[in-house]
Amino acid sequence: MKLTNFEITSLIVLESDGLIWDVHNVFHFEELVLRCEDNSALMRWSAPFSGIPFGDETRDAAGMELLFGDLKFLQIGPRDAELPLKEDRCVASVIKVESKSVEPNPWFRTRKIWGDSDEFRVFFDFQSARTIEIESATVELCPLKKNKN
């Protein structure tokens, strides 16, 4: 998988063009869409708070999308039914995991250092215990512009 215009810089942060996308504290997960017409998947986050996150006056985004092109693998895990549904909006962690490993625990499939040619999947763990593991040829971060109306 190739991250085309961003990096995963911590367990909850994606960084693109010098901007921080905190998927735990600032942005809320909205949806995962499987797009059969071009074998892609789209994950969308919104910025539900008024004001600009982290005082970044250059950001004019209503949220962001991750577009996974040429989808190779997608697996969604169950949520903890005892937790409120709002916990499905909050990402607890985002990690790269080895794609060829059969180890069920994602934390045993990650590394501290990844090479440019290493194959991996992206694993999203939500506060509700739901998980999404996804692999594609490429993934691009696309900011969503605020509606000026």
Where do the DSSP E strands lie in 1-149?
Answer: 2-3, 7-8, 13-16, 19-22, 28-35, 40-46, 61-76, 91-98, 120-126, 131-145
Residue 144 has pLDDT above 50, yes or no: yes
Domain boundaries along the sequence of the chain: 2-145
Residue 48: the pLDDT is 75
In whole angstroms, how far apart are CA 119 and each of 46, 79, 101, 106, 126?
A: 29, 27, 11, 15, 23
pTM summary value = 0.90
As a whole-number percent, the residues of the chain with pLDDT over 70 amount to 90
